[in-house]
Amino acid sequence: MNKAINILSTLSTNEPLDEQLLLDYLDNKLTPAQTRMVEEWLANSPLASEAIEGLMNVPDKGQLKTVVKDLNHSLQNNLRKKHKRVNKTYRKTVYWFIISLIITLLLCIIGFIIVRMLYVK
């Protein structure tokens, strides 16, 4: 659960907020000063603000932790898949580069041998 809220809290360029502080904000359990601090933090991060807004729409606040955990799990799976695709594409690029380099070297060697054979005659 800590990782789930940490992903949300690090969306801002400011210092991350405490997990419990964010949960209390969503449950409207903060003092006015704490609420102001969280809202200032959200004002500096449109992405985090959108995420909090989406979490506010969860009808059952008791399921909030489960929703955040599920979202975090889904996000991590998607990022893992994207990372695999990028690595696969990179490997293909390197593979084709090496093949083209070998073909180019072979053509140069064959060309050198043909030119040498023509001048030797």
20 or 101, which is more confident? 101
Q: Quick check: 21 and 3 in contact, CB under 8 A? A: no
- What is the residue range of 97's domain? 2-120
Cα–Cα dist 96/22, whole Å: 49
pLDDT in tens, 82-97: 888 888 888 889 999 9
DSSP-assigned states of every residue in 32-87: HHHHHHHHHHHHT-HHHHHHHHHHHT-S-GGGHHHHHHHHHHHHHHHHHHHHHHHH
Cα–Cα dist 97/43, whole Å: 47
pLDDT of residue 110 exceeding 60, the answer is: yes
CA quadruple 10, 11, 16, 17: dihedral sign = negative
Tally of domains within the chain: 1
What is the rounded average pLDDT for all residues in the chain? 81
SS3 content of the chain, % helix, strand, coil (to 5): 80, 0, 20
Q: Which residues contact 71 (CB under 8 A, 6 or more apart)?
A: 4
Q: Percentage of residues in the chain with pLDDT exceeding 70?
A: 85
Instruction: Please tell me the predicted confidence (pLDDT) of residue 121.
Output: 67
